[in-house]
Amino acid sequence: MAEVILRHIAKAYAGGPRVIEDVTIDVNDREFVVLVGPSGCGKSTLLRMIAGLEDITDGDLLLDGERINDRPPKDRDIAMVFQNYALYPHMTVYENMAFGLKLRNMDSNEIRYRVMRAAKILEIEKLLDRKPKDRSGGQRQRVAIGRAIVRNPKVFLFDEPLSNLDAKLRGQTRIELQKLHRELLATMIYVTHDQVEAMTLGDRIVVLRSGDVMQYDTPLELYNRPANLFVAGFIGTPPMNFLPGRVTNVDGRVGFESAARTVRIDLSMSTHQHALKAYEGRNVVLGIRAEHMREKPVSMQQRHYSAEPIMAIDAIEHMGNEILAYFLIEDRRFVAKLSGDSTVKFDQPTTMFWDINRIHFFDAQTELAIR
């Protein structure tokens, strides 16, 4: 069993502000949890505190129910894979993977068994007698992961391990990490600033901002039910479109009116009408994802769409099976994800149909989702 619990964890450096405010999360046994957020949000600092490389200012860190705040890194039974591979260039791949075990005076037969097992899992058996400097970035990262595997730790920590790889290799290595997690049945905590990595790898994702947890949930929940404006804008590619406005009520029909009154949406037939009634006359922010806008509504569901004329498409990106069409609404940049055979043309007025049941609303003051 390897359950990691963080209770009100905080971190402050001498003479400076807190970089981690108050983090409380549970990582279940065998779970793959991803810490994601922009640069400077505290995700790597949080990971280093779990590893014992940074002191904890306040709070409790529990491993299998035991408080380990003051336990040195070597006694935590935690293995960490860093962004830079940190391999010894003068040693072979085998020697790099075996080095930590030799320092622990482990039996040579046991060392060989563990190294060969890890090499087989990572498909690097043929590289064991080579030097790391002769290998590609992806192969060197596998060696670094193998060095962690041979320890049989309770918890694996990954600090942006794919950031030095090119886009194609990152995609391949993500698949390998998923397979590795299934084979090892291990608890893994992974740090990245790339939300695509987070969405594809994590059983659950911690979204961080300025040392605070914005939301901790499954990838689909983060995408479909963001708790606030920050999560809504951070998770998803392309990012969610936003439009400020207010909630209206005309003859008992709840609606939305944009700040400049160029967009008016009747929400009386939507799933939002009851939640928005309490916000009548108040400022809100509308959010809609690119794939929830169409050139034409699905005929059977036309009543669930709102037709919004736009002045013109001012940029188009062809992606093969789909296109991204960009346009402005009240000086706000919007993007719609349309099918590859779309007939929209650059610099021509058109109408977009918005799926009113897939629109999100946020309190303009608190930035929290309205549900």
Distance CA 127, CA 206 (A): 36
**Amino acid letter at 242?**
F
Distance CA 135, CA 115 (A): 18
Domain CATH number, residue 84: 3.40.50.300
Same domain, 172 and 291: no
In a domain, 217, yes or no: yes
pLDDT of residue 170: 83
Q: How does strand 322-329 pair with strand 264-266? A: unpaired
Sequence length of the chain is 371
Same domain, 92 and 204: yes
In a domain, 368, yes or no: no
Same domain, 88 and 166: yes
What confidence tens digit (pLDDT) does each residue in 260-278 have? Answer: 999 999 999 899 989 999 9
User: 10 Å Cβ neighbour count for 341?
Assistant: 8
pLDDT, averaged across the chain: 92
- pLDDT over 80 at 302, yes or no: no
Same domain, 119 and 212: yes
Alpha carbons within 13 A on the beta-carbon side of 208: 31
Same domain, 198 and 72: yes
Tokens representing residue 49 in the block:
């505190």
Same domain, 192 and 55: yes
Domain CATH number, residue 274: 2.40.50.140
- pLDDT over 70 at 298, yes or no: no
pLDDT of residue 165: 78
DSSP calls for 248-300? EEETTEEEEEETTS--EEE-TTSTTHHHHGGGBT-EEEEEE-GGGEESS--GG
Same domain, 247 and 230: no
pLDDT of residue 330: 93
What confidence tens digit (pLDDT) does each residue in 113-127 have? Answer: 999 999 998 889 999
Q: How does strand 187-192 pair with strand 264-266? A: unpaired
Bridge partner list, 241: 288
Number of domains in the chain: 2
In a domain, 288, yes or no: yes
What confidence tens digit (pLDDT) does each residue in 351-370 have? Answer: 999 999 999 999 999 999 99
Query: Which of 192, 217, 234 corresponds to the end of one domain?
Result: 234
Query: Which of 202, 219, 234 corresponds to the end of one domain?
Result: 234
Bridge partner list, 346: 313
Spatial contact of 7 and 59, defined as CB atoms under 8 Å apart: yes
Bridge partner list, 351: 309
Mean pLDDT of the 136-161 span: 90
Same domain, 349 and 316: yes
For residue 77, what are the contacts with CB-CB under 8 A and spacing of at least 6? 63, 153, 154, 155
End-to-end distance of the chain based on CA atoms, in angstroms? 37
Spatial contact of 95 and 128, defined as CB atoms under 8 Å apart: no
Same domain, 154 and 251: no
Per the listing, tokens 């920590």 go with 157
pLDDT of residue 222: 98
In a domain, 19, yes or no: yes
Same domain, 88 and 224: yes
What confidence tens digit (pLDDT) does each residue in 38-74 have? Answer: 999 999 999 999 999 999 999 999 999 999 999 999 9
pLDDT of residue 301: 58
Same domain, 26 and 139: yes
In a domain, 44, yes or no: yes
Same domain, 195 and 250: no
Q: Which of 169, 166, 186, 199 is nearest to 121 (CA)?
A: 186
Starting at the edge strand found earlier in the chain, the sheet holding 332-339 runs 315-318, 322-329, 332-339
Q: What are phi and psi of 128, to 5 degrees?
A: -60, -30
In a domain, 369, yes or no: no
What confidence tens digit (pLDDT) does each residue in 25-35 have? Answer: 999 999 999 99
In a domain, 78, yes or no: yes
- pLDDT over 90 at 17, yes or no: no
pLDDT of residue 175: 87
Range of the domain at 56: 4-234
Distance CA 67, CA 161 (A): 28
Query: Which of 203, 218, 234 corresponds to the end of one domain?
Result: 234
Q: What is the DSSP letter of 133?
A: G
In a domain, 214, yes or no: yes
pTM confidence score: 0.91
Tokens representing residue 135 in the block:
């290998």
Distance CA 203, CA 222 (A): 12
